[in-house]
């Protein structure tokens, strides 16, 4: 009996399950495969992906096995054949878009050598810009909460923290400083401090001189020890992961 855990959306049939197991969520660096998905995604607009997958082989046959140069060279006669092909989505605008997309695809290849590098580069750039803006902004919110400033985005203090963190990122990036060692140190510190703090809290919660009659009961201590065990496990896992010992 098959025991593989899958997303609920793919349990419709074997076609969907096969796509989920072998293609969905996997990075693609092959230009030919990327062009195939570009064509399929073009026709998917407004429809379900399952509908497109069922017609995938028909699309492959109709579009010359997704040969980007052949598709880019399609003329009116070929377009008319595609419009009359009942095996694909017979939408005239989508068919014409497939041809113009193929032409743009080739221009990008000529300019950058590979569509996949260009495509991945845009994604990484977008992710980097987003992180560069949101990470310093998050730091400003943390400072706002921890220091009890109770101020807004227009405050000088808030903007100073935001710009300061952003400036550090630009500086470190400019001088070639790699933050991976700091990140590793933070992971190790977190792995050590997490169980330590949990242990200290359990100790404090059992001090009559501090909490009086409100100190921990046996049941609460059992729960606390379970939590401590979990933090020890997570902390150890984090430290071992830093040193690639897992």
Catalytic residue list: 19, 41, 49
Residue by residue, DSSP assigns 15-47 as HHHHHHHHTTT-----HHHHHHHHHHHHHHTTS
**DSSP conformation class of 216:** P
> Do residues 128 and 122 touch, judged by C-beta distance below 8 A?
no
Long-range contacts of 138-145 (CB under 8 A, 24+ apart): 139/165, 140/165
Q: State the angle between helix axes of 31-44 and 92-112 in degrees (0 to 180), rounded to the nearest 10.
A: 150
CA 178, 183, 188, 193 torsion: positive or negative?
positive
Tokens 């808030």 found at:
158
């Amino acid at each position: 009996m098959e025991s593989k855990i899958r997303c609920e959306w793919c349990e419709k049939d074997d076609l969907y399950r096969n796509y989920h197991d072998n293609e969905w969520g996997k990075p693609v660096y092959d230009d030919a495969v990327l062009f195939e998905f570009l064509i399929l995604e073009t026709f998917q607009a407004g429809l379900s992906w399952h509908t497109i997958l069922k017609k995938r082989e028909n699309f492959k046959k109709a579009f010359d096995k997704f040969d980007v140069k052949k598709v880019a060279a399609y003329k009116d006669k070929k377009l008319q054949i595609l419009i009359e092909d009942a095996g694909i989505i017979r939408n005239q605008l989508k068919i014409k878009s497939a041809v113009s997309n193929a032409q743009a695809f080739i221009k990008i290849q000529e300019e950058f050598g590979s569509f996949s590098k260009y495509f991945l580069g845009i994604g990484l750039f977008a992710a980097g810009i987003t992180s560069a803006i949101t990470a310093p902004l998050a730091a400003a919110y943390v400072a706002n909460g921890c220091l009890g400033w109770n101020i807004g985005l227009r405050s000088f203090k808030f903007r100073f923290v935001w710009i300061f963190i952003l400036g550090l990122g630009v500086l470190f990036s400019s001088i070639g400083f790699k933050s991976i060692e700091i990140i590793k140190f933070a992971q190790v510190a977190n792995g050590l401090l997490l169980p330590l703090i949990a242990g200290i809290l359990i100790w404090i919660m059992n001090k009559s001189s501090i909490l009086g009659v409100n100190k921990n009961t046996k049941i609460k201590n059992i729960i606390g020890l379970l939590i401590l065990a979990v933090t020890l496990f997570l902390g150890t896992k984090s430290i071992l992961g830093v040193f690639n010992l897992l």
